[in-house]
Every structure is written in C-alpha cells, then in structure tokens.
Amino acid sequence: MQNPGCIFCQIVADTRRCTALAFMDIHPANHGHCLVVLKAHCATIFETPPDTFASVAHLAARVAVAVRDALRPAGMSLVQANGSAANQTVPHLHIHVLPRRPDDGLLLNWARTGEGDPSRIADIATRIRAHLRTG
C-alpha cells in the first residue's frame, strides 16, 4: 500500500522487487547518514508485520557495514523512532543509519546515573511478558 502524500512513498514508487531500500538523508546528522525505508507504507512499527520489519532490519545491517567500511566512523547508531514523542518526523517506517564520531553533538544518548528500582523493573517486566503471551 502506498500513501501519495508521504515523501518516502514518493521516493520508493519507482522501485521494483524489494521490500526495503536505502538512500542518503538529505538532512544528514553526520556525513554518511542513510535511511533504510520500508517500501510499503506503514507509519510505525506498530502497523508493520514482524517479517516485514525483519527485511528492513536486515538491509539496515548491510548498510551499516557498508557505511563503516566506507567511512570508518568511530561508532554507529541505528535509530528507529515511532511517533512524534520519539521525534519521528516522517510517518513512514524507517531506520536511520548514523555514523558516529566522538563529540559529534548528536543527542541520542542518555545519562546513566544510578540504577532503577529493582521491584519496579520486575513489575514492568511482568506486565510486558503478559502482553507477549497474548499478542
């Protein structure tokens, strides 16, 4: 299914025989920033069948290796955001392949200060497990 109002659907419209493809981000966070997008229009991971997401993840891994080999960055982040609160700016499933350099200023990390409350962590894990069994 394609969404004619979606910029990523417009980009993938001319491709054939693939479920995902990669291209350079026109607003790169760092040199070598690539996007791996699902060919079919699914806004987030929640509308994407797991097998279909697997094809996007497989291609993202291949692209990450190619970016690493071509540019030799100090590190690599793969980012897949869902919804505006997660800073998803294009509502079409995609993975950012981001070469990282020391002190590049990208705010994708969070402070690791202190440990969480073990009983709260266990309670949340129990709640998530219950949904894995039913869904």
Residue 108 has a pLDDT of: 75
One pLDDT digit (tens) per residue for the chain, 135 residues: 578 778 767 777 766 667 788 899 988 999 999 999 988 899 999 999 999 999 999 999 999 999 999 999 999 999 999 999 999 999 999 999 999 999 888 887 666 677 788 888 888 888 888 888 654
Which of these, 124, 116, 74, 81, lies nearest to 99 by C-alpha position?
74
Residue 110 has a pLDDT of: 66
Residue 14 has a pLDDT of: 64
3-class DSSP state of 76: strand
Instruction: Report d(CA 106, CA 25) in Å as an integer.
Output: 15
Residue 67 has a pLDDT of: 94
Class of domain 7-108: alpha beta
Six-digit token string for 91: 């509502």
**pTM (2 d.p.):** 0.81
Report which DSSP code applies to 83: S
Show me where the domains of the chain are located.
7-108
Residue 134 has a pLDDT of: 56
Residue 130 has a pLDDT of: 85
Say how many C-beta atoms besides its own lie within 10 A of residue 97's C-beta: 27
Residue 76 has a pLDDT of: 96
